[in-house]
Chain A
Amino acid sequence: MADDAILEGEFFMNGDEACAEGAIAAGCRFFAGYPITPATEVAERMSRRLPQVGGVYIQMEDELASMNAVLGASWAGVKAMTSTSGPGFSLMMENLGLGAMLETPCVLVNIQRAGPSTGLPTLVGQGDMMQARWGTHGLYELISLVPSSPQEIYDLSVTAFNLSERYRVPVLIMSDEVVGHMSEKVVMRRVPPEDIVERRRPTKPPGEYWPYEPDDDLVPPMAIAGQGYRFHVTGLTHDERGYPVMTAEAQDVLARRLVDKIRVNRSDIIMLEEVDTEDADVIVCAYGITSRVARRAVRQARDGGIRAGLVKMITVWPFPEDRIRELASQARAFVVPEINYGQVVLEVERCAAGKARAVLVPHMGGGVHRPETVLDAIRGAVL
């Protein structure tokens, strides 16, 4: 394998390209995708780079196929990724659910554009945040990360693969068009082996191994195809053997574990950055490109004598609800700017539970907030 083709050093590149490089640094060696603006540069970079590092790039016939090919490759033991946007994200929902059900490590990158439908293909949106949580049918929890710069999308691509391998779950990188298309300095590194997480392999021999017999952390070790385990996996509700069982009892055991393996491990999963929250009366909760606008607004508010703070989310799902609950008993209000008409604000409001107000600062998409708009909302929140 041509691992010496992994890039190290400082580069000037856009977020889409940095995302691809982060994935390669994390050990991704399979990419299946379908061209779509503004995620195309992720696929283009992968098509050039994967062959250099001994990986496989394939352009599939659509996003349904792309998501499935990624799942298949993961079951062959290869770290696999796809990228898309808007309409393609909708098409991937069906088999994102299969990924959740089969407990398949993989990474799905969504460079969000404004919607619904074809919307604004070349312009930014953050309208898929609830789709990332609830978009495929049924009961499950996935992990969603929200980078705000080319450097962060590079770093979070490594994190995404590690989390997906650790928890046997599809991980979503919920980026946006501005982060995807902006070019900045990106420092790349060869990730040391101890910082790379690999899925837990079976400790039991073929014949005794079952694909959904979980360890204490609710995550089952994963066999891969072709090694003699002769395992069965299905999108049907199944027992620990992977066999279909069409009962409410089996559904109860499985659905609880699929959700709980994320919920009970959430303190290990959730990442956020806080700025000046210790004494804050008003806290701006923001993510992706919007968090950079928010950072400036918070600084301006502080300069103007308002005790403002910032919670910059890195993980949106699972939602950092424990921390938001704590902050709700201290702050008077949360201000939530997002490039949609109110999605993550609903979670903030739920966790604030009436102890602090949650103020939405919406932007319908096609551009980012002006810092002054967020600043006005901060001022309004402390009146």
Chain B
Amino acid sequence: MTTAVTTEKHPYDPYLRVDRMPHIWCAGCGVGPAVGCFIKAIERSGVNPDRIALISGIGCAGRAAGYVRLDSFHTTHGRALPFATGLKLGNPELNVVIFSGDGDLAAIGGNHLIHAARRNIDMTVICINNFNYGMTGGQLGPTTPLEARSSTSPYGNFDPPFNLPHLVAACGATYVSRWTVIHLRQLERSIAEAMVKPGFSFIEVLAPCPTVYGRMNKLGQGTDELHTYQSRCVVQNGADPKDAEIGLSGTIIVGKFVDTERPTFWDHCMKVFKKAQKK
């Protein structure tokens, strides 16, 4: 006979609002493992948690800000990035991390995403991509693959998706990677790297959504979707992000695509403002 293993403490407790558990995420959802990687990445990065500000928009992934015990801001739909921009410019000593979903960051917040990347604001964006709007019941989003089913593409999607790494790289992001929630070690390392790297870092995290996207596309349980990732993903560090499109089937390229240097917004800012103060 087996007995349940229970423990009073979880190693992540110091980083969680344990008084808010249980969380709202579904069984098999990929947001939880990504939050776990973020927490481990905080430790790996050596950044003082008191100096981290976590900003989320709206949606399933957007709930992360509520559960992680940091200074955390659950803002409006799509607006995490401009809120974070103000926070970072108000106090450049803060380590600013945005944790939100693909619909939030790339559809309603798409304009803010391209401009934050263009400015190269020193922040880390963790973008959970579950290929649909989970919170509202599985509508198509800006990342839904062509032909995929969703509650608003009942005959199959005819609305071409973004290739997010390609988008943000083209806009000037200095760190771009993509992993899935089966690539736990790579994801943790990637988040930690991004957090200490100056400039705009973007990490796309492919995450199962068995409750809606998975069900509507007959992907099985959360674990089945993980197996799918396992068979479809190919790690290609340094791959050209334009080749990293995701279809309904076929290879998914994951890895670190961009890791480059460019002056941040604040670098430019200080140079010019010093000149202004002499006048």
Interfacial chain A residues near B90, Cβ < 8 Å: 30, 56, 72-78, 80
Asked if B251 is at the interface of the complex by the 8 Å CB criterion, the answer is: no
How would you classify the secondary structure of chain A's contact residues: helix, strand, loop or mixed?
Answer: mixed
Asked whether A225 and B94 contact (CB < 8 A) given A52-B277, A61-B112, the answer is yes
Asked if B20 is at the interface of the complex by the 8 Å CB criterion, the answer is: yes
Asked whether A72 and B66 contact (CB < 8 A) given A60-B82, A235-B76, the answer is no
Give the 4 A-B residue pairs with the shortest CB-CB distance, closest first: A76-B90, A72-B86, A69-B86, A51-B276
Chain A stretch 73-106: residues in CB contact (< 8 A) with chain B:
73-78, 80, 94-95, 97-98, 102
Q: Which of A52, A102, A230, A236 gathers most chain B CB within 10 Å?
A: A230
Interfacial chain A residues near B115, Cβ < 8 Å: 60-61, 65
Q: How far is the CA of A64 from the CA of B85 in the complex (A)?
A: 13
Say how far B61's CB is from chain A's closest CB, in angstroms.
Answer: 14
Q: A106's closest neighbor in chain B, by CB?
A: B86
Asked if A234 is at the interface of the complex by the 8 Å CB criterion, the answer is: yes
Q: Can you report 30 residue pairs joining A to B where beta carbons are below 8 Å apart?
A: A52-B279, A56-B89, A56-B269, A58-B89, A60-B82, A61-B111, A65-B79, A65-B85, A65-B111, A68-B82, A72-B83, A72-B85, A73-B89, A75-B73, A75-B87, A76-B87, A80-B90, A94-B76, A95-B76, A102-B73, A225-B91, A226-B93, A226-B94, A227-B50, A229-B71, A230-B69, A230-B71, A232-B65, A232-B72, A235-B75
Which single member of B74, B84, B88 contacts A236 (CB below 8 Å)? Answer: B74
* A233 and B83 within 8 A (CB): no
Chain B stretch 53-81: residues in CB contact (< 8 A) with chain A:
53, 55, 58, 65-66, 69-76, 78-79, 81
Q: How far is the CA of A77 from the CA of B92 in the complex (A)?
A: 12
* B111 and A62 within 8 A (CB): yes
Q: How far is the CA of A2 from the CA of B274 in the complex (A)?
A: 11
Q: Which of B74, B79, B82, B279 gathers most chain A CB within 10 Å?
A: B82
Asked if B155 is at the interface of the complex by the 8 Å CB criterion, the answer is: no
A: residues with CB less than 8 A from B are 2, 30, 32, 48, 51-52, 54, 56, 58, 60-62, 64-66, 68-78, 80, 94-95, 97-98, 102, 224-236, 243-244
Say how far A287's CB is from chain B's closest CB, in angstroms.
Answer: 30
Say how far B56's CB is from chain A's closest CB, in angstroms.
Answer: 9
* B91 and A226 within 8 A (CB): yes
9 additional A-B pairs beyond A72-B90, A232-B65, A233-B74, beta carbons within 8 Å, are A51-B277, A52-B277, A60-B85, A64-B79, A65-B112, A68-B79, A72-B85, A76-B89, A231-B72
Q: How far is the CA of A75 from the CA of B74 in the complex (A)?
A: 13
* B94 and A76 within 8 A (CB): yes
Q: B121's closest neighbor in chain A, by CB?
A: A58
* A230 and B91 within 8 A (CB): no
Interfacial chain A residues near B81, Cβ < 8 Å: 65
B interface, size bucket: 35 or more
Interfacial chain B residues near A32, Cβ < 8 Å: 82, 85-86
How would you classify the secondary structure of chain B's contact residues: helix, strand, loop or mixed?
Answer: helix
Q: How far is the CA of A77 from the CA of B273 in the complex (A)?
A: 20
* A76 and B277 within 8 A (CB): no
* B86 and A51 within 8 A (CB): no
Q: How far is the CA of A30 from the CA of B84 in the complex (A)?
A: 14
Asked if B189 is at the interface of the complex by the 8 Å CB criterion, the answer is: no
Asked whether A2 and B91 contact (CB < 8 A) given A230-B70, A233-B74, A235-B74, the answer is no
Q: How far is the CA of A75 from the CA of B87 in the complex (A)?
A: 6
* B277 and A69 within 8 A (CB): no
* B71 and A73 within 8 A (CB): no
Say how far B151's CB is from chain A's closest CB, in angstroms.
Answer: 22
Asked if B51 is at the interface of the complex by the 8 Å CB criterion, the answer is: yes
Interfacial chain A residues near B73, Cβ < 8 Å: 72, 75, 102, 232-234
* B65 and A69 within 8 A (CB): no
Q: How far is the CA of A65 from the CA of B80 in the complex (A)?
A: 9
Which single member of B79, B83, B91, B112 contacts A77 (CB below 8 Å)? Answer: B91
* A2 and B76 within 8 A (CB): no
Asked if B17 is at the interface of the complex by the 8 Å CB criterion, the answer is: yes
Interfacial chain B residues near A68, Cβ < 8 Å: 75-76, 79, 82-83, 85-86
Q: A55's closest neighbor in chain B, by CB?
A: B273
Which single member of B72, B82, B276 contacts A69 (CB below 8 Å)? Answer: B82
Interfacial chain A residues near B91, Cβ < 8 Å: 76-78, 224-226
Asked if B5 is at the interface of the complex by the 8 Å CB criterion, the answer is: no
Say how far A33's CB is from chain B's closest CB, in angstroms.
Answer: 12
* A71 and B112 within 8 A (CB): no
Q: Which of B17, B83, B269 gathers most chain A CB within 10 Å?
A: B83
Q: How far is the CA of A95 from the CA of B86 in the complex (A)?
A: 13
Q: How far is the CA of A77 from the CA of B91 in the complex (A)?
A: 8
* A243 and B20 within 8 A (CB): yes
Asked whether A71 and B86 contact (CB < 8 A) given A62-B111, A98-B76, A231-B71, the answer is yes
Interfacial chain B residues near A94, Cβ < 8 Å: 76, 79
Interfacial chain B residues near A233, Cβ < 8 Å: 72-74
Q: How far is the CA of A56 from the CA of B51 in the complex (A)?
A: 21
Asked if B1 is at the interface of the complex by the 8 Å CB criterion, the answer is: no
Interfacial chain A residues near B111, Cβ < 8 Å: 61-62, 65
* B71 and A54 within 8 A (CB): no
